[in-house]
Amino acid sequence: MQGIISRVAGGVFIAISSGNKYRLHSPGKIKSRSKLVVGDRVIFEKEGEDYVIKDMLPRKNTFERPQAANIDIFLIVASIKEPDFDAILTDKMTVYSYMSNTEPVIVFTKADLDKNKAIELARAYDNIGIKTFLSNLNQDDYSDMVDYFKDKIVLSVGNSGVGKSTLLNQIKNENIQKTSEISQSLGRGKHTTRHVEIFNMDGFYLIDTPGFASLELNFLNEGKRLSDYFPEFRKYSCKFNTCEHINEPNCGVKKALVNGNILESRYKSYLQLKDELNKLEERRW
């Protein structure tokens, strides 16, 4: 049988196969090859009273934080308010998604708290080429999102309190994940998801992850530049092929910024992430 690892806890592996859940044991030869994570596709068989993993299929991609594999869509959950929209973290996660060979999709939650801002942000990211959805606090129809995610493994990420678990519950129409109130003193949500786990959403698989307020980018792949992961930048030509879009003359990206064709918030994110990657490279040596 073939299944997807849906949960890893205390050396126990839970897999989903044909809508059923199985508790699996992993022999040493599998563990020595690679540490199994949520999203791994495995071949397993029944031996006596136990189900034993026989092989692990090749991975499409691997994430270190959160630990997961074979992700198709990187679902970035960002709230409009309570907590306020975090442009830097959102843009950082889109870059992380592209770097990890997944499609970034943004769902703006609590859109009813500021409809104008929600619509403006969704339109801006749609124009960039990043698919977006709007989610209201009391929404009960997610058919458009379910259709878009059909047969995919979706990794849901975002800051604490933005409504990842609430979104999961609303899509599934079941209370399958605990939710938590916003901490008034910190202005962010209390962590409610304690582990990485896959949920069968009756058409696609969704991985809910612990909320986090920081995310470290990896080193860029050889031959790649940060600007490669800002799709709107690729529309414009610069005088120099090695242009970093900061201080170089005749920079097409800077001209587009001045003309209002590139969002100032996105360019600010680019500068901040560029600085972060430079510091990471310095520490490497």
The predicted-structure confidence for 188-245, as pLDDT tens digits, reads as follows 444 444 567 888 888 899 987 765 555 677 767 777 899 999 999 999 999 999 999 9
Distance of CA 282 to the CA centre of its chain: 27
The mean pLDDT of 64-70, rounded to a whole number, is: 83
- Give, as one character, the DSSP assignment of residue 221: P
The predicted-structure confidence for 107-147, as pLDDT tens digits, reads as follows 999 999 999 999 999 999 999 999 999 999 888 889 999 99
pLDDT higher than threshold 80 for residue 185: no
Distances in Å between the alpha carbon of 96 and those of 130, 185, 200, 225?
13, 30, 25, 13
Contact of 56 with 69, CB cutoff 8 Å: no
Q: Which two tokens stand for residue 85?
A: 């929209």
Torsion on CA atoms 91, 94, 96, 98, rounded to nearest 10: -140
CA distance 77 to 109: 7
- Mean pLDDT taken over the chain: 86
